[in-house]
Amino acid sequence: MATYLYSDPHFDSENVLKFCNRPFKDVDEMNRKLIQNYNTVVLRQDICIWLGDVMYAASKTKVSNILRQMHGRKYLILGNHDRGHSERWWLDAGFDKVFSTPLYDAQRFLLLSHEPLPEFGNSLPIVNFHGHIHTQDYDFTPHNACINVCVEATDYKPVLMRNPFIQNIRQFSH
């Protein structure tokens, strides 16, 4: 069993297709390719932690139909476009676990959030995996303690959480 990170698929979004310059002719092609890419990486026994922004103005039926096609156990940290629905709503739509706040693993100094939280990387040995910033300039200066896992930054695929990330964490220790 492996654990993956995935952020900002924005299923069915014409706006993200246009503003993020995604390489798909329309949302149907984007949805198909995102699901296909996801399933080539995530196996049925794996866990994938979604760092938010599943689908703007989502209907439970649409989300359920998409999630049923995707492998693994799916955990969601709510993003800004997901917060219009309750944790219960997202669970009913098909997620296995839902979190309304970032997750912090104190043993591995890992912070998982939707938005980048760079203030933690300035004084503490924490690596923040995040989404939200896509390809636009959000007046955010990337640095080694914040790793963007938006689909635009990961070839539209989930990324594996593995031991080399622990080595990255050690470089920030005092």
Q: Where are the domains of the chain?
A: 3-170
Residue at token pair 């689908």: 55
| pLDDT of residue 126 exceeding 90 | no
Name the pLDDT band for 168 (thresholds 50, 70, 90). Answer: very low
51-97 per-position pLDDT tens digit: 999 998 889 999 999 999 999 999 999 999 999 999 999 999 999 99
- Residue ranges with strand state E in the chain: 3-6, 47-50, 73-77, 97-99, 103-105, 110-112, 127-130, 146-148, 159-160
- Provide mean pLDDT across the span 102-121: 82
Q: What is the DSSP letter of 80?
A: T
pTM above 0.85, yes or no: yes
Cβ atoms of 53 and 11 closer than 8 Å: no
Q: What is the pLDDT of residue 137?
A: 55
Residue 42: closest CA among 149, 160, 137:
160
9-67 per-position pLDDT tens digit: 999 999 988 888 899 999 999 999 999 999 999 999 999 999 999 998 889 999 999 99
Q: Which CATH number fits domain 3-170: 3.40.50.300, 3.60.21.10, 3.40.1000.10, 3.50.50.60?
A: 3.60.21.10
